[in-house]
Amino acid sequence: MTGDFLPEFNAVPVRGGYRGSYRLFDSQPFRFIPGGEPFMTAGQALNAAKDYVRERLNPPIRCEVTEAKDVLGLADWHEQRAAREAAQQEQALGAIVVKGRQVKIERRRA
């Protein structure tokens, strides 16, 4: 395209009313909006052309939401890591460190 992007709108008189037309670039000819029904006034035809170009240049944005899945198994890994570190602390210190304090773990045999 050699022309500049400059949307223009026009109302063309036809039998029984006006049809909306548009062009997006200076180098392009005017094109009628789809739907051959003429509008009663030129203002309605211009508004229809503006709405058509707005819809064409700004398509609706779709988004999809999926349920959260733990595909990599991170939750299980974090639990196993915490259990492993607690076992290491208990083996090394004889207690587990909770909030900066050592908490002694007593095990009873039944």
11-58 tens-digit pLDDT: 999 998 999 999 999 889 999 999 878 999 999 999 999 999 999 999
Q: What is the mean pLDDT of residues 70-94?
A: 84
Share of the chain above pLDDT 70, in %: 95
In this structure, which long-range contacts are made by residues 13-18, counting pairs with CB atoms below 8 Å and at least 24 apart in sequence? 13/42, 14/38, 17/41, 17/45, 18/42, 18/44, 18/45
Is a pLDDT exceeding 80 seen at residue 110?
A: no
